[in-house]
Chain A
């Protein structure tokens, strides 16, 4: 299943971003060529989180010992053994990833089929909220889209594309885009208000 996990804007070239998806640690990163990658956030060498690492060209390097992983997550260089041809069995775990309409999506179990295609929205923010999706969507009149975990919604007069994922129990992370240029700041205020209402409802 394809699940939105971040805004494309939040992972520029050369950057890494750690994402929790249903308790699983993922690293989202983008090399110089611009293609977004979503991997398990774990170096197979010592288990260090790759999101602490650094991007050089089109490779992600582990912060611990500089093991360098290219596209497809194969390890292609181990600095401590510069003459070694790295066996192809040494690899991080890569997931199918795509980017559409300003959202980054991952298909962890490979059951998603063709990736969703969305109209480009203008990124506002990803917002973590301490509420489960059911509680949150009681507060947001939303129209489901054909794709899972993607809805269209209007909040305080602003038209949104909302993608979302669940980092862990009782939590949701919204990835918000707007369709109208110039509405971004108003949209962020509406999202902050929604977060307060959802968390107050949970506390009550």
Chain B
């Protein structure tokens, strides 16, 4: 049985919930109290996925684990797009963390320089929009390959929640259409701040 250690407002936990929903995987959830000083999980920060005796940590690794171990179609992690998928998974774990941190400052009163984080976050969104704009001219709709992959799922929450720290999608027309397309995928689920209407 899959078991997700989860925090409902975490963008990274949401990425895992979304992947589980898109793959149609039954699972149980353990809500973790992230209040400072409260217990998290025996393995560190959420999200953490237990699969029987196996434990997977790190949002990007959980997504690729689910695609490898629980998606016989292989379409979420296609071999022919492996390099591009890896690049955007790395981007989600590095450049996009500015948006995660900005959001924590803006809505959870975490310490940090909101303007500086938002400036970095804006440039990360611009890099994504540039890539998608280039792909559109080649007739492609997604970050890598012909269909949605774990790369799209990994970057999606930060893009959608950037308005929590004050960055809208006005400057990013290609991201705007991409997020709408992603919300139309069968099985899609939202979270607070991400509507599942489209």
Checking B126, B130, B168, B177 against A18 with a beta-carbon cut-off of 8 angstroms, the contacting residue is B168
Contact residues on B (Cβ < 8 Å of other chain), bracket:
10 to 19
- Is A103 an interface residue, CB under 8 A from the partner? no
A15–B197 CA distance with the chains assembled, in angstroms: 12
Indicate if the CB atoms of B177 and A10 lie closer than 8 Å: yes
**Could you tell me the distance between the alpha carbons of A54 and B180 in the complex, rounded to whole angstroms?**
10
Bound complex: CA of A18 vs CA of B195, how far in Å? 16
| Neighbour of B198 across the interface among A6, A17, A54, A184, CB < 8 A | A54
Docked complex: A1-56 residues within 8 A CB-CB of B: 6-7, 10, 12, 15, 17-20, 52-54
Instruction: Select one of B170, B177, B180 contacting A19, CB under 8 A.
Output: B170
Cβ A15 vs Cβ B177 within 8 A: yes
Q: Is the CB of A192 within 8 A of B130?
A: yes
* Size of interface on A: residues with Cβ below 8 Å to B: 23
B173 with A125: CB separation less than 8 A? yes
Is A150 an interface residue when CB atoms closer than 8 A count as contact?
A: no
Contact B176 A10 (CB under 8 A): yes
Whether B137 lies near A7 (C-beta < 8 A) is no
CB of B183, distance to nearest CB on chain A (Å)? 10
Interchain CA distance A6-B171 in the complex, whole Å: 10
Instruction: Please state if B173 and A126 are interface contacts (CB–CB under 8 Å).
Output: yes
* Residue contact B138 to A185, C-beta cutoff 8 Å: yes
Q: How far is the CA of A128 from the CA of B195 in the complex (A)?
A: 26
- Chain A residues with Cβ under 8 A from B180's Cβ? 15
Q: Which of B134, B169, B177 contacts A188 (CB 8 A)?
A: B134
Task: Render B127-151 as a binary contact track against A, CB cut-off 8 A, 1 for contact.
Answer: 0001001100110000000000000
Task: Kindly supply a per-residue 1/0 record for chain A positions 118-130, scoring 1 wherever the CB is within 8 Å of any chain B CB and 0 otherwise.
Answer: 0000001110100
A residues within 8 Å of B by Cβ? 6-7, 10, 12, 15, 17-20, 52-54, 63, 124-126, 128, 167, 173, 184-185, 188, 192
Give 27 CB contacts A-B under 8 Å.
A6-B173, A7-B173, A10-B174, A10-B176, A10-B177, A15-B176, A17-B176, A18-B168, A18-B176, A19-B170, A20-B170, A52-B195, A54-B197, A124-B137, A125-B173, A125-B174, A128-B170, A128-B171, A128-B172, A167-B170, A167-B171, A173-B171, A184-B137, A185-B138, A188-B133, A188-B134, A188-B137
Task: List the 9 closest A-B pairs by CB distance, nearest first.
Answer: A128-B171, A10-B173, A54-B197, A125-B133, A184-B137, A20-B170, A18-B170, A126-B173, A185-B137
